[in-house]
Amino acid sequence: MARQASPYSIIRRKDSKTYRLTLTPSCGLPDRVCSEWYRCSFQHFPPELADYRNPKTLSAARVGALALIEYLKKGQATGSALRSRSQDITVGAWVVWATGLLTLLSWRLSWVLGEPYTPASKVAY
């Protein structure tokens, strides 16, 4: 019988004697969520899991990892744990970004000089 994959891996740092957590795809969460929790400290836990932020033993770290997985699964089910990716942008956010260009001093100077799209200004935007 094959060995089942662990839903997480915990590494103890020797310099600070703290633990780091990595969620694996076998925990049942999407790959994007697992990649966000790659080699993260327990200090990065959400405020709801503040009791698990400072594990002293490996067994306490395991309990904290399972609590985090359950928290993230519950968040995925309710939709509260969904984050927008850096490439995703809504129409309203794009309008705010585009109108924000008008307030930039460098953009206004380029527009007055008649060169709103110089190679240097493209890099700055």
Residue 107 to residue 45: CA distance in whole angstroms: 40
Give residue limits of the domains in the chain: 8-78, 91-124
More confident residue, 81 or 29: 29
pLDDT tens figures, 36-91: 888 888 888 888 898 999 999 999 999 999 999 999 888 877 766 545 445 556 77
> Does the global pTM surpass 0.85?
no
More confident residue, 23 or 121: 23
Q: How many angstroms separate the first and last alpha carbons of the chain? A: 56
Band of residue 13 on the pLDDT scale cut at 50, 70, 90: confident
pLDDT tens figures, 84-111: 445 556 777 767 766 665 566 666 666 6
More confident residue, 105 or 35: 35
How much is the average pLDDT of 6-16?
87
Cα dihedral sign, 118-119-123-124: negative
Of 3, 2, 7, 63, which Cα lies nearest the Cα of 33? 7
pLDDT at 84: 44
Of 39, 3, 45, which Cα lies nearest the Cα of 24? 39
